[in-house]
Structure 1
């Protein structure tokens, strides 16, 4: 099995989102392996139009009509971009439901028709010939207010559930990332934990629900899939089998198994349960929690892992972050990092789109809102060059920065050089292990560059094993959560043990 990264729920200008479809697909290809561009299609139990709801009702109806008129062209473009071994696409669209919660329909078929139904379940059944699934998302909203309806949930129609997006985290009412959208707060009865306690079987995914045409926008949600190869058929098989998990943004590589059965599996055994968790993170590990039946069973804190660097050669991860300043229209960067006395093993991008979750009164259509020039231009064993666009942070708690994470093999004498828009810095990994450093482009209200503290391998890679001999329920459910110091998370899908 190989690990692939995607976004199965994001929006652009094909309905009431923003940004050109072509730019959205190019953004996805720049840092993902697969995606589905989702159009808004229907809301069977939408509120009646009144003076108070006029804007809400009108922009939804206009978006639905736009997708209906352009569906053939959208479907053809998504089909055209799909290329086995390079980049994989799926077809899909969304149905809102006050009663059952919002779902997006996904299919591997390029013949998927745009059908209408009174509920997500009815729509999935009507489209059964196209091998569809219905994915509940932003599940934590109030019951009857577009949150999930666990009583109506069916695993055969929804093998995966979106547990994180720009809306927030729906794992539990105690999770980080609360719901602050105008749709309201989280309700404990509609969280993942509530569904697991009801005996529902499903795996976890993250996706952005981004409305400005930037699939995989960093920090807004991504899905990881363990599949045999990068093809539509293999990734679809893995999704339906539940070999998925959710992350906020950093591509935390996770393997989780019980007696050899991996995430999404149902296992019948009378033997002791040997639980294995492997993870490679992108920052210092803060805490790992193994849950049994939605209660913490084992907790490992990062300080117990031995996070110090050794004197000899080893691996480090260093994040180079660009942004800040007061540019609301976008600031363009051209940057380069070099390694001297060591080797650049890999690099990963943490690029964001403009932060848009839904239309607002006064917003204008802009097909180039997602044409940001975010890309890695060159990568060798000693050099990484990239371009990106950043924006003024919307608030002191909401970043609009861009970053790359370098994996470097070296020692404390290895030197990292960074150049970006006239800024130049040369610093050793030993100094970076002691702390970060920052520089500014201009004297005041300036864009800036931050080279984060170097993370030694002992602090970002972990192998854990436990043995459990106690059966609590007819089916015990084990899942895990990983939190990094930078508040990036991974939520690892359950293994169900009878």
Structure 2
């Protein structure tokens, strides 16, 4: 089964905002699994000087806070692991030498210990654990990954996208613009794969205000046998996971019928990548050893009679930092095959005590109210967009099975728009709540399945060594999936 989660995000248990309980409440509203990550240590932190005094003291205060409350944090994470939401224990190690890692464990006895390297910490903690490198694209020695010291035995997964940006390659979408600096081509995913490193791709938010899974900041898809800690843990160790930037893009990638994380033997290879997106498909690329092997563009897709359509309803805008509550419902005389709720919290990446923000910045009441084959109802809350390039809108994407005459009713905050699929294929509609600087609703144009589903097949022969195949998929709305490698040798 395909499960969705965020394995790296923060709240006020160290330097961040929001309570642990509220962060877990938000995770429960829209995720299958999560960590809530505390900042724990920085073994090679700068020497304390007048120039670095603030940053050193700020971090050490955060580390001390986590240590003092670790037992209660660990107990709460264990209590919340109830099957509806799967939780893992986690904390973070900063390192200039090794790059930053978050340490994840499925064991509730996971101790908070201090070591000078991720490898030593994993070896000495006494329970099962992995160290996941994150925001890897920063400059070597400046908290970006150190591929020379990377150890796939303790780091079978690498975080490839988050709020910091995307580190797949020098030309990947979402460059690094955080104050930690730019993306360095020496520290990309491609650079690691070309060195022969073996790992799967994860996406996480690295949100610092208690909103795990915040839309558009990164998310991990896991192909697990069931929704449980042990099954998700086994999938992570086996490489059956991949990263998306936000939209829950379903990906099925195989080489000679074998899937993610597998090693294929034989000179002749048949590759297949099937993708089901949430919006108009832009392109699907299968890579061999980080070079394009096969490409399919959305413009190449031929229209055909559709059996299903995706409809996106987006809410937000306005000019207020106060929360606007939205109550919505979609009904149809066709069949509602499924729906995804995409939620954003107030966005914070690396808060300091200069932010002046309240402690609980994301006490937001989001929930699914109703879901069956005829209706989907929800409640969510938004604030104004941070800029024209940083939206804070929420959205619902519903998949509706039917034909051109199928009728869809969209009701948001008491206002209803009724249209046929044929009308929605011609275009969407918007409306505003107030005369000026108003919150608004946008019903996007419907997308037929022939435009959001792609299948790309290719044949290839081995190069003589170990070949690495992975896939990348882009949508017209800028959302991506980065599909983890399959390895092939003779």
Which of 144, 152, 155 is residue 152 of structure 2 equivalent to?
155
Which of 466, 474, 493 is residue 484 of structure 2 equivalent to?
493
Matched residue, 1:141: 138
* Cα deviation code 1:5-34 (max 9, x no counterpart): 111100011110111111111111111111
Deviation at 1:330, TM superposition (A): 2.0
Q: Secondary structure at the match of 2:148?
A: helix
Q: Does 1:53 align with 2:52?
A: yes
Deviation at 1:473, TM superposition (A): 4.7
Q: Does 1:324 align with 2:317?
A: yes
Q: What is the number of equivalent residue pairs in this alignment?
A: 489
Deviation at 1:419, TM superposition (A): 2.1
Matched residue, 2:361: 369
Runs of 5+ unmatched residues, structure 2: none
Deviation at 1:370, TM superposition (A): 2.2
Runs of 5+ unmatched residues, structure 1: none
2:373 and 2:119 mapped to 1: Cα distance? 50
* Cα deviation code 1:120-145 (max 9, x no counterpart): 22212222x31110000000000000
Deviation at 1:189, TM superposition (A): 0.4
Deviation at 1:309, TM superposition (A): 6.1
Matched residue, 2:96: 98
Which of 438, 462, 466 is residue 475 of structure 1 equivalent to?
466
1:191 and 1:302 mapped to 2: Cα distance? 27
Matched residue, 1:338: 331
Deviation at 1:425, TM superposition (A): 1.8
Which of 235, 255, 263 is residue 260 of structure 2 equivalent to?
263
After superposition, residues 432-443 of structure 1 pair within 5 angstroms as: 432-443=424-435
**Contact 1:423–1:439 (CA<8 Å) still a contact in 2?**
no
Matched residue, 2:377: 385
1:50 and 1:323 mapped to 2: Cα distance? 45
After superposition, residues 40-79 of structure 1 pair within 5 angstroms as: 40-79=39-78
**Contact 1:423–1:440 (CA<8 Å) still a contact in 2?**
no
2:8 and 2:406 mapped to 1: Cα distance? 41
Matched residue, 1:194: 191
Matched residue, 2:389: 397
**Contact 1:416–1:427 (CA<8 Å) still a contact in 2?**
yes
Q: Secondary structure at the match of 1:262?
A: coil
1:495 and 1:89 mapped to 2: Cα distance? 27
Matched residue, 1:465: 457
Q: Does 1:20 align with 2:13?
A: no
Judging changes above 3 Å, is the alpha-carbon distance between structure 1 residues 409 and 355 closer, same or farther for their aligned structure 2 residues? same
Q: Secondary structure at the match of 2:385?
A: coil
1:58 and 1:182 mapped to 2: Cα distance? 19
Root-mean-square deviation (CA, aligned residues, Å) is 1.3
Deviation at 1:422, TM superposition (A): 4.2
Using structure 2 for the length normalisation, give the TM-score. Answer: 0.97
Deviation at 1:87, TM superposition (A): 1.8
Deviation at 1:166, TM superposition (A): 0.3
Q: Does 1:354 align with 2:346?
A: yes
**Contact 2:11–2:208 (CA<8 Å) still a contact in 1?**
yes
**Contact 2:221–2:242 (CA<8 Å) still a contact in 1?**
yes
Which of 94, 118, 121 is residue 120 of structure 1 equivalent to?
118
After superposition, residues 2-41 of structure 1 pair within 5 angstroms as: 2-41=1-40
Deviation at 1:52, TM superposition (A): 3.2
Mean CA deviation greater in 199-208 or 368-377: 368-377
2:79 and 2:70 mapped to 1: Cα distance? 14
* Cα deviation code 1:471-491 (max 9, x no counterpart): 225111100000011110000
Matched residue, 1:219: 216
Q: Secondary structure at the match of 1:151?
A: coil
Q: Secondary structure at the match of 1:224?
A: strand
2:190 and 2:464 mapped to 1: Cα distance? 15
1:224 and 1:381 mapped to 2: Cα distance? 24
* Cα deviation code 1:368-393 (max 9, x no counterpart): 32221111111232222211111111
1:163 and 1:416 mapped to 2: Cα distance? 38
Deviation at 1:365, TM superposition (A): 6.2
**Contact 1:39–1:93 (CA<8 Å) still a contact in 2?**
yes
1:381 and 1:197 mapped to 2: Cα distance? 47
* Cα deviation code 1:185-229 (max 9, x no counterpart): 000000000001111111101011010111111111110111111
